[in-house]
Amino acid sequence: MELEKQLDYLFNPGSVALIGASNNLAKWGFHILSLLIAKDGRHIYPVNRNGNEIQGLKAYQSVSQVPGPVDLAVITVPFIEVPAAMEDCARKGVKVAVVISGGFAETGGEGAGIQREVVEIARRAGIRFVGPNCMGHFDTSADFFTVPYLPPVSKGPLALIAQSGNTSQSIVYLACELGLGFSKYVSSGNEADLHFEDYMEYLARDDETKIILGYIEGLKEGRRFFKLARELTRKKPVVIMKAGRTEAGARAARSHTAALAGSDVVCEAALKQSGVIRVEEVNELIDVALVLLGQPLPRGRRVGVLSAGGGAAVIAADALMRQHLELPQLSPGTIDKLNSLLPSRWSHVNPVETGGDPFSYACLWALMEDENVDAAFVIGGGGVTGSYAKWVSLPASVSNQIEQYLEEAEVGELNDVDKSMESMKKYQKPIIFANMGVPTPRKGKVYEKLQKEYIIPFLTPERAAKALSHLVQYSEYLRA
């Protein structure tokens, strides 16, 4: 059977055997089974050497005793028992497997030999498998999940391949918190059989996947990875966090997924030449996904900054400069427009600083129209009027006034956000919103409207500047 077909079965099997199914809540085999049962529509077969009944289902002592066909086997038994389980899968004619169990090549000991044994058994039988030492996988379209340690995941444009279960878990949590959805996910573990590159090739052809996110400690097929990446990044962005940058990190990676990483400098250069966006932190994967989803590709690195406060303007300027972005002079026409919109004490240069007043969105539109500006960066501003009204007791007349003022302001801002989105589409320039801790807006209708467009205010100007810088560099790569 060809690989693509096998991976189709992996992500959307008709029947699943769980080898290591358990009634014991401390075992993975308990939670995976609960989850498989809860998600209807597939044949689920608990397998456990004791047989009997598990969570209300008849349990089989081995996969070969299962009456119907088994597309996918999920294996959670201790590593020492995995070769026998794989033998049994071979006898049964299982198509594809996920080996959750750890204790293999990553330990450097006895497990390494057992891992080789498992690979040989699977190869002879034509079974391809995920792992070992992994956390499972999911497909939101097929509504199929083997990983029970996640928040509710919605359908969406992101795919994730990760050489670490707990890191992937963090990535999914961070994305879900912002309302971002996933197409497919796989925790690839030690990659004894299926490699990062196999999943990548498969996701390249997956129409539901718009962006591929990856967490890497070491590549099994570096040459193939970079060849694939060069083709892929012209069509879909690939965003990679490669860990083990430092000596101690690389050493830890060896004892994790048995990864043998080469020089980080060489890796960095190769990623860059392939158009891969490399990030340094887990948060940054999601930050970059956001700007890729929500923003047009900028035509240059000249940023117009709009700030409702002087400190924020200084901090934004520092953050943008440190990411090698530019703060251009504004054109005389823009200065004229801003003169008519702002009190005379405004900064009169880029960053445009209002002199402490909340800005009107018309200032943003003026920046967007400026031919010297490739992207707008909006920081701070608004949203805290009357914040004290929530914690001191005011006369009803005052608190009603504040409430009405805020409601009217919200209606106005919703309208302004629409116009800003039009301006973004018309000029094909990104608009990056950032704040520094003041939650503006972190909820309410304005936030919801922005969130639908993947335009979520960044929590720090530094993160916002970094994300914009990645977008600029990717755009430069595609245009080169």
Site for a copy of itself in 396-435 (CB under 8 A): 398, 401-402, 405, 435
Footprint of a copy of itself on 63-92 (CB under 8 A): 79
Per 3-state DSSP, what percentage of the chain is helix, strand, and coil (rounded to 5)?
45, 15, 40
3-state secondary structure of 164: coil
Kindly tell me which residue out of 9, 173, 226, 477 binds a copy of itself, with binding defined by CB under 8 A: 173
Q: Can residue 167 be called a binding residue for a copy of itself (CB under 8 A)? A: yes
Q: Can residue 245 be called a binding residue for a copy of itself (CB under 8 A)? A: yes
Q: Can residue 169 be called a binding residue for a copy of itself (CB under 8 A)? A: yes
Pair 162, 168: CB distance under 8 Å: yes
Q: Can residue 308 be called a binding residue for a copy of itself (CB under 8 A)? A: yes
Taking the C-alpha atoms of residue 165 and residue 173, their distance in angstroms, rounded to an integer, is 12
Pair 18, 45: CB distance under 8 Å: yes
Kindly tell me which residue out of 343, 371, 412, 425 binds a copy of itself, with binding defined by CB under 8 A: 343
Q: Can residue 115 be called a binding residue for a copy of itself (CB under 8 A)? A: no
Please state the closest distance from residue 259 (CB atom) to a copy of itself, in A. 9
Q: Can residue 465 be called a binding residue for a copy of itself (CB under 8 A)? A: no
Q: Can residue 391 be called a binding residue for a copy of itself (CB under 8 A)? A: yes
Pair 287, 458: CB distance under 8 Å: yes
Q: Can residue 322 be called a binding residue for a copy of itself (CB under 8 A)? A: yes
The 10 Å CB-count burial string (b at 16+, else e) for 393-431 is eeeeeeeeebeeeeeebeeebeebbeebbebbeebebbb
Q: Can residue 251 be called a binding residue for a copy of itself (CB under 8 A)? A: yes
3-state secondary structure of 1: coil
- Tokens 């503006």 locate to 440
3-state secondary structure of 160: strand
- Tokens 């969570």 locate to 55
Total residues interacting with a copy of itself, rule: CB under 8 A: 104
Pick between residue 87 and residue 284 the one whose CB is nearest to a copy of itself: 284
Query: Would you tell me the crossing angle of helices 310-322 and 461-479 to the nearest 10 degrees?
Result: 40
Distance, C-alpha 285 to centroid of its chain: 5
Partners of residue 97 on adjacent β-strands: 73, 129
Kindly tell me which residue out of 50, 61, 65, 166 binds a copy of itself, with binding defined by CB under 8 A: 166
Pick between residue 277 and residue 315 the one whose CB is nearest to a copy of itself: 315
Please state the closest distance from residue 406 (CB atom) to a copy of itself, in A. 10
**Which region, judged by CB under 8 A, interacts with a copy of itself, from 68-76, 119-127, 307-315, 361-369?**
307-315
Taking the C-alpha atoms of residue 153 and residue 37, their distance in angstroms, rounded to an integer, is 17
Please state the closest distance from residue 319 (CB atom) to a copy of itself, in A. 8
Pick between residue 260 and residue 321 the one whose CB is nearest to a copy of itself: 321
For residue 259, give the DSSP letter: -
Q: Can residue 479 be called a binding residue for a copy of itself (CB under 8 A)? A: no
E strand spans, 66-121:
72-75, 96-99
Q: Can residue 137 be called a binding residue for a copy of itself (CB under 8 A)? A: no
Footprint of a copy of itself on 144-163 (CB under 8 A): 145, 148-152, 162-163
Pick between residue 94 and residue 467 the one whose CB is nearest to a copy of itself: 467
